């Protein structure tokens, strides 16, 4: 067992006292109170031996400036009683890993599956999720991306309001449950990507301001106060974040991180936090001998994020592509409300395939200004963009949390799956979308504070104003039924259209692995043509050609280059030589016959 030193960075209080107690006790007579000493950098350490330290787990917490309130360790790895309770010592190095032969997965050529622990299974735990991993292996994905698991106040939540970044929510299984999950994924050949949130801190249970200047009150973003990345004492705040990054990758054997909303990181220092993060992760990757990708969520369309440091970029591995989703969504639904307005042409989807970004310096009508910069498509591989037809944001941030499968037909979902999973980018599937789940995925919270719950519900309604959506049926995030409605129904994959869509998704991933043209990362290896009047889109990737008819009338298109063999089809598609006939809402992957 490693030695637990109980050190805490707290430059603000004049005094800090460590309180400890044996696990299972709550009587005041069993509490030990240990004074702490401060060094020049604001770190406090016990001034005398801690009773019971090194003899097993201990509950502990800090009392600041003589108050009678025990607050959790900002770096706590276990919170059995929640964010307002005592911390508990946890030795992450003591877990009995069985993945010593695991060498990781490279993101290039891979497929991601995004899941939320609380709604992935009826039980909503990491151990229960292990029981569904064989489903993911059979599907053919390479990575499981786990939505945030850090501790938040309440029982269920999306996870983006976490306040203790070093711990795993106890209701999910705590840190030990998380390590069992990662070990089980590796045993089945699945990498694990952890979604982490460093751009803001949640509102409930946030005691960091009592310890030090962790947050920047002047840098409030949409979701809360931003971390202090460039103000006085920001060195330790940045270290707090980067140490958390390394904890997931080193102590919990995670294979990469998805970084939430990096555009909200307010950092004016010479080296941006993201670049500093990439430097340290690259160093750890070299030591552990496996790739450790960092994937950003950003709406900036700034190629510096995914440009190598040698080329003047931040050196992140990849980023989510909103432009792909928006162009595909509009092509399928015709919805041009709000930020979807600029994507009202099949040419928008074609541009994304050829250029990566749609907004690459073009005017954004939603923002009322130009937006983005061009990607250097000669030097940037396509797989650096993560694409999907739905994700937790795009579903959960619709007014009623309906999936795309609730808005369009099964064949149209098939078109979405074909174009996404056979794209040259890195495809991602949101849990249940592989079978067109009928369950919604709604925004849910369980804030114990009634006033906070009311404020969140009101804020949701205000967010929808710019999209001109009907908000009369928006579910109350605090209603427990909103959470339970969002759980997957695992009886569906064996039934009717659900079973057919699951078979299609599985076949598409098999085809993806069978033809190197589909994973070739060169932008100039592909060409897109489209016709809004005919409703068709053609994407050529070497010898493989993807054709899709988005309209509700038949289409015909000629594809030059020789006779065509059908690899996989959605709906009714027929070929004769170089001529392709497409029924309404149909698509196919075709292979040019070689002489």
The pLDDT of residue 2 is above 60: no
**Is residue 260 flagged as an active site residue?**
yes
Nearest to 164 by CA among 151, 178, 149: 151
Same domain, 417 and 274: yes
First-to-last CA distance in the chain? 65
Same domain, 122 and 241: yes
Same domain, 563 and 505: no
| 329 in Cβ contact with 502 (< 8 Å) | no
Mean pLDDT of 7-14: 98
DSSP 3-state of 527: strand
Nearest to 547 by CA among 591, 498, 499, 500: 591
The pLDDT of residue 461 is above 80: no
DSSP 3-state of 378: coil
Nearest to 421 by CA among 543, 517, 500, 510: 510
- Give the sign of the dihedral formed by CA 370, CA 374, CA 375, CA 377: positive
| 281 in Cβ contact with 292 (< 8 Å) | yes
Same domain, 162 and 49: no
| 516 in Cβ contact with 428 (< 8 Å) | no
**Is residue 342 flagged as an active site residue?**
no
Query: Does some domain include residue 429?
Result: yes
368: Cβ contacts below 8 Å, ≥ 6 apart: none
**pLDDT-based confidence at residue 469 (cuts at 50, 70, 90):** low
Same domain, 32 and 175: no
**pLDDT-based confidence at residue 1 (cuts at 50, 70, 90):** very low
Residue 564 dihedral angles phi and psi, to the nearest 5°: -120, 135
DSSP 3-state of 382: helix
Query: Does some domain include residue 168?
Result: yes
Query: Does some domain include residue 491?
Result: yes
Which domain CATH number covers 543?
2.60.40.1180
Query: Does some domain include residue 369?
Result: no
The pLDDT of residue 13 is above 90: yes
Same domain, 421 and 543: no
Same domain, 468 and 538: no
Considering the candidates 161, 225, 297, 540, report the single residue annotated as catalytic: 297
Rounded CA-CA distance 86/72 in Å is 6
209: Cβ contacts below 8 Å, ≥ 6 apart: 215
Query: Does some domain include residue 531?
Result: yes
DSSP 3-state of 249: helix
| The total number of residues written for the chain in this structure | 595
Lookup: tokens for 286: 């070299």
**pLDDT-based confidence at residue 3 (cuts at 50, 70, 90):** confident
The pLDDT of residue 565 is above 90: yes
Same domain, 39 and 137: no
Query: Does some domain include residue 104?
Result: no
Same domain, 164 and 245: yes
The pLDDT of residue 438 is above 80: yes
Weakest-pLDDT range from 153-162, 304-313, 443-452: 443-452
Q: What is the pLDDT of residue 194?
A: 98
Nearest to 418 by CA among 592, 570, 583: 570
What is the domain extent for residue 54? 8-70
Mean pLDDT of 321-326: 97
Percent of the chain with pLDDT over 70: 96
The pLDDT of residue 465 is above 80: no
Q: For 193-239, what is each residue's pLDDT tens digit?
A: 999 999 999 888 999 999 999 998 766 666 778 899 999 999 999 99
**pLDDT-based confidence at residue 22 (cuts at 50, 70, 90):** very high
Q: Give me the DSSP letters along 187-235.
A: HTT-EEEEEE--S---SSS--HHHHS--EEEEEEETTEEEE-SSSTTHH
For the whole model, what pTM was predicted?
0.96
DSSP 3-state of 361: coil
Same domain, 310 and 413: yes
Which domain CATH number covers 180?
3.20.20.80
Rounded CA-CA distance 59/89 in Å is 7
Same domain, 538 and 498: no
Q: Higher model confidence: residue 482 or residue 464?
A: 482
Beta strands 58-64 and 573-576: pairing type?
A: unpaired
E strand map for 307-459: 318-320, 362-364, 369-371, 385-387, 426-430
Question: To the nearest whole number, what is the mean pLDDT of the chain?
Answer: 94
How many domains does the structure of the chain reveal?
A: 3
Query: Does some domain include residue 1?
Result: no
Query: Does some domain include residue 543?
Result: yes
Phi and psi based region of residue 372 (left: phi greater than 0; alpha: psi -120 to 50; beta: remaining)? left
**pLDDT-based confidence at residue 399 (cuts at 50, 70, 90):** confident
Same domain, 498 and 559: no
Mean pLDDT of 114-143: 98
Considering the candidates 260, 299, 360, 390, report the single residue annotated as catalytic: 260
């Amino acid at each position: 067992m490693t030695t637990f030193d109980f050190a805490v960075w707290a430059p603000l209080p004049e005094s800090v006292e460590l309180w400890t107690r044996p696990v299972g006790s709550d009587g005041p007579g069993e509490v030990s109170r240990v004074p702490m000493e401060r060094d020049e950098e604001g770190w406090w350490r016990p001034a005398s031996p801690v009773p019971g330290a090194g003899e097993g787990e201990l509950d502990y917490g800090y009392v600041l400036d003589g108050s009678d309130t025990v607050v959790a360790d900002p770096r706590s790895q276990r919170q059995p009683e929640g964010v307002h309770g005592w911390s508990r010592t946890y030795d992450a190095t003591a877990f009995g890993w069985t993945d010593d032969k695991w060498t990781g997965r490279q993101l290039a050529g891979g497929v991601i599956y995004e899941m939320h622990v609380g709604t992935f299974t009826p039980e909503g735990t990491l151990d229960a999720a292990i029981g569904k991993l064989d489903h993911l292996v059979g599907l053919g994905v390479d990575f499981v991306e786990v939505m945030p698991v850090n501790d938040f106040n309440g029982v269920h939540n999306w996870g983006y309001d976490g306040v203790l970044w070093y711990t795993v929510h106890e209701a999910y299984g705590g840190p030990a449950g998380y390590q069992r999950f990662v070990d089980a994924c590796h045993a089945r050949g699945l990498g694990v990507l952890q979604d982490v949130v460093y751009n803001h801190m949640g509102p409930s249970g946030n005691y960091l301001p009592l310890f030090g200047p962790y947050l920047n009150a002047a840098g409030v973003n949409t979701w809360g106060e931003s971390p202090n990345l460039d103000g006085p004492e920001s060195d330790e705040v940045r270290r707090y974040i980067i140490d958390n990054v390394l904890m997931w990758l080193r102590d919990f054997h995670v294979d990469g991180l998805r970084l939430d909303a990096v555009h909200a990181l307010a950092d004016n220092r010479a080296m941006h936090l993201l670049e500093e993060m990439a430097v340290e992760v690259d160093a750890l990757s070299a030591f552990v001998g496996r790739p450790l990708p960092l994937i950003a969520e950003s709406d900036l369309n700034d190629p510096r994020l995914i440009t190598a440091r040698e080329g003047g970029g931040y050196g992140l591995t990849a980023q989510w592509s909103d432009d792909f989703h928006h162009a595909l969504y509009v092509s399928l639904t015709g919805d041009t409300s709000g930020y979807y307005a600029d994507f009202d042409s099949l040419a928008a989807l074609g541009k994304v395939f050829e250029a990566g970004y749609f907004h690459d310096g073009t005017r954004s009508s939603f923002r009322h200004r130009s937006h983005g910069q061009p990607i250097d498509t000669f030097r940037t591989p396509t797989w650096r963009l993560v694409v999907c037809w739905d994700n937790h944001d795009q579903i959960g941030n619709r007014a009623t949390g309906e999936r795309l499968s609730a808005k369009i037909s099964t064949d149209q979902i098939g078109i979405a799956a074909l174009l996404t999973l056979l794209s040259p980018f890195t495809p991602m599937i949101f849990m249940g979308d592989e079978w067109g789940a009928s369950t919604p995925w709604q925004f849910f919270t369980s804030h114990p504070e009634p006033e906070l719950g009311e404020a969140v519900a009101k804020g949701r309604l205000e967010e929808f104003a710019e999209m001109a959506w009907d908000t009369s049926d928006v579910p109350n995030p605090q209603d427990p039924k909103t959470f339970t409605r969002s759980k997957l129904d695992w009886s569906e994959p064996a039934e009717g259209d659900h079973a057919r869509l699951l078979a299609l998704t599985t076949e598409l991933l098999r085809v993806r692995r069978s033809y190197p043209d589909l994973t070739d990362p060169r932008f100039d290896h592909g060409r897109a043509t489209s016709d809004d009047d005919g409703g068709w889109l053609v994407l050529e990737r070497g010898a493989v050609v993807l054709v899709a008819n988005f309209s509700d009338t038949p289409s015909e298109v000629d594809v030059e280059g020789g006779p065509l063999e059908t690899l996989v089809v959605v709906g009714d598609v027929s070929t004769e030589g170089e001529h392709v006939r497409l029924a309404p809402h149909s698509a196919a992957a075709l292979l040019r016959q070689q002489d």
